[in-house]
Structures are given as structure tokens and as C-alpha cells.
Chain A
Amino acid sequence: MSLNDPISMVPAFGEAIGMSVDSVDGSRLTVKVPYAEHLVGDPDTGVIHGGVITAALDNASGWAIRLSEDWEEGKSMATLDLRIDYMKPATPHIDLLITAECFKETKTIAFVRATAYHDSPDDPVATSIAAFMKGTPNEPRA
């Protein structure tokens, strides 16, 4: 499936961390977060903050659900939970890649795995697992 509008539209916070879609391969989506000084979590080492990775994992996971054939246009989704394991610090001055894939969907819930890495998903910086509620209303709240 090709990139559709909801995916190419990066939310404000995604833009704030410099995130963009890198590629789409079937049900798998990869986003990129280029290294930047304002993302640093430890000024002594220059390693980016875990929160940047959290944001990218969350966003990539949500986008992965939109790739599904069952995705209902005009609807939104809500993250129910997100668990992240940090395996090793990100390397300073190198872009971060995040690949996400929705591996199971029910009528109301989608389960998504994602991995953050530099060179290969086999050597992850962090991995996550998330559950999303699908089909939540996407209109201004009352």
C-alpha cells in the first residue's frame, strides 16, 4: 500500500522532533528521526533522550495501523498502552530509524510491535509493544 494522506501528515510533535516517513514495505512502516542537538537527553554524552524514542515509536505504531486494509478513513485511534524496552543508548550524531508493524487486529483493537535502531533491527536501541483502540471519533470534542 502506498503512503496515504493521514500518514504523510506529520503531527506537530512529530515535526518538533524532526520525524518523517522513510519507507513503507507492505504492512511495515519505517520512520526516520535525524540526530539533532535539541533532542539530547544527556549533554555529557550527546545521547538523545528516551522520550524522543518514545514519541517516534508511538507515532510509527499508530501509522502502521493506518496501513491496514481494515482502516476506516475519517476515524482516529487512541493508544491504550505502550511498553518500551531500552536495549542500548542511541549513538550520537547518527539518525534513528523506527520500523513498526501491526501484527494483530480485532474489530476494535490493534496490536503493534516496533523497533528503534541505527543499522539493523537485529541490533535494537529500543523495542516497543502497543495496543490501540481503533475507530475513535476524529472530530472536535464537545
Chain B
Amino acid sequence: MEILKQLREEGRAEDMQALVDHIPYAKFMGIRVDRKGNEITMVLPFKEMLIGNPVLPALHGGAIGTFLELTSVIQLMYNTQCERLPKTVDISIDYLRSGRPVETYGRAFVTRQGRRVANVRAEIWQEEINKPIAASHGHFLLTPV
């Protein structure tokens, strides 16, 4: 991926915000990266367009799924400094609570990283980190540098 090569050349291989800004769909959703040391928290600010059920109201399951997948991929990119974006092989999403119309946060954990495939878990929450609204685990295909 061009942007990854460029970031590495500029010594900004860890700049995950620059990477997210280069993914049109992530940018469209307004996803931000909050990095403190080597800890990454993804942030999904609330927007009306993220709504799936206007009556409750609740976030769309697809917006939640996208956020979990991106949280996983960005954590994986940060850990592995791959040359290309990992490809999602599969992802399993558990919806735990309905998403309220507020800011959402996400964190991922690389459970196992093999040479070609990585297993990644992710959790997202809103006001309380101990009350996740959704969790996922997935397999991602890596392209080692």
C-alpha cells in the first residue's frame, strides 16, 4: 500500500491516524485513533448517519461491525507494520447491548499472530468500559514485510 511505504520512509510507521485517514470508508465514518504510548483506542464519534433504529434510537449493526473490524485491523497493523492492509478472512460479532447515540470506543488484542494468519479479538464500549456493546474475533491474512 502506497501510504504505508510513504509513512515508513517518513519514519511515521506508527502513525495509525494517517493510515485511517487514507481509508475512504474509515474517514467517511469519522473514525479516529487515540494512541497513548503503545496503547491504541479507536474512537467512533456519534453521527446521525450511524443510526440503524431511529425509534430506540440505536446504532446500526453494520456500523458496529465495521468499527470492530477496523479496530482489529489497525491494532494488527500497529503490531506487525505490514506492507499491506491485512485481509479479513472471517469475523464473528457478538452484539451485547444496543448502541446508544453517543461516542463509541474500541480496543483490540492480537490473540495469536502466525506467519500468515492472525487471530484478533476486539471489544467496543460507550460510557462504561465494563459494559461492552459488542465484541468480535476474527482471522486476518497478513503480508509480512
Instruction: Report the separation of the CA atoms of residues A125 and B108 in the bound assembly, to the nearest whole angstrom.
Output: 25
The size class of the interface chain A forms with chain B is 35 or more
Q: Which residues of B have CB within 8 Å of A40? A: 23-25
B56 in contact with A76 (CB, 8 Å): yes
Is A7 in contact with chain B by the CB < 8 A criterion?
no
Q: A51-B66, A86-B89 are in contact. Are A11 and B25 (CB under 8 A)?
A: no
A31-59 Cβ-contact flags toward B at 8 Å (1 or 0): 00000011111111000111110111111
| Chain A residue at smallest Cβ distance from B89 | A86
Chain B count of residues within 8 A CB distance of the other chain: 41
Q: Please give, as numbers and ranges, the residues of chain A lying within 8 Å of B87 by CB-CB distance.
A: 86, 89
Which among A14-22, A100-108, A112-120 touches the partner chain?
A: A14-22
> Who on chain B is nearest to A9 by CB?
B54
In the complex, the chain B residue whose C-beta lies closest to that of A57 is B62
Q: Are B65 and A51 in contact (CB under 8 A)?
A: yes
CB-defined contacts of B67 to chain A, threshold 8 Å: 51
Contact A76:B55 (CB < 8 A) given known A42-B85, A50-B88: yes
- Label chain A's interface by main secondary structure: mixed
Residue A139 at the B interface, CB < 8 A? yes
A43-86 with Cβ < 8 A to chain B? 43-44, 48-52, 54-59, 62, 76, 78-86
B98 to chain A, nearest CB (A): 7
In the assembled complex, B117 has its CB within 8 A of some CB on chain A? no
Q: Is the CB of B60 within 8 A of A49?
A: no
A114 to B130, CA, bound (A): 32
Task: Kindly list 17 other residue pairs between chains A and B, CB separation below 8 angstroms, not including A11-B54, A12-B54.
Answer: A12-B50, A38-B25, A42-B85, A43-B24, A44-B1, A44-B2, A49-B24, A50-B66, A54-B91, A58-B61, A58-B65, A59-B52, A78-B95, A78-B98, A79-B93, A81-B93, A89-B87
A-B contact pairs, 7 of them (CB 8 A): A16-B49, A16-B50, A37-B24, A50-B66, A76-B55, A82-B65, A83-B90
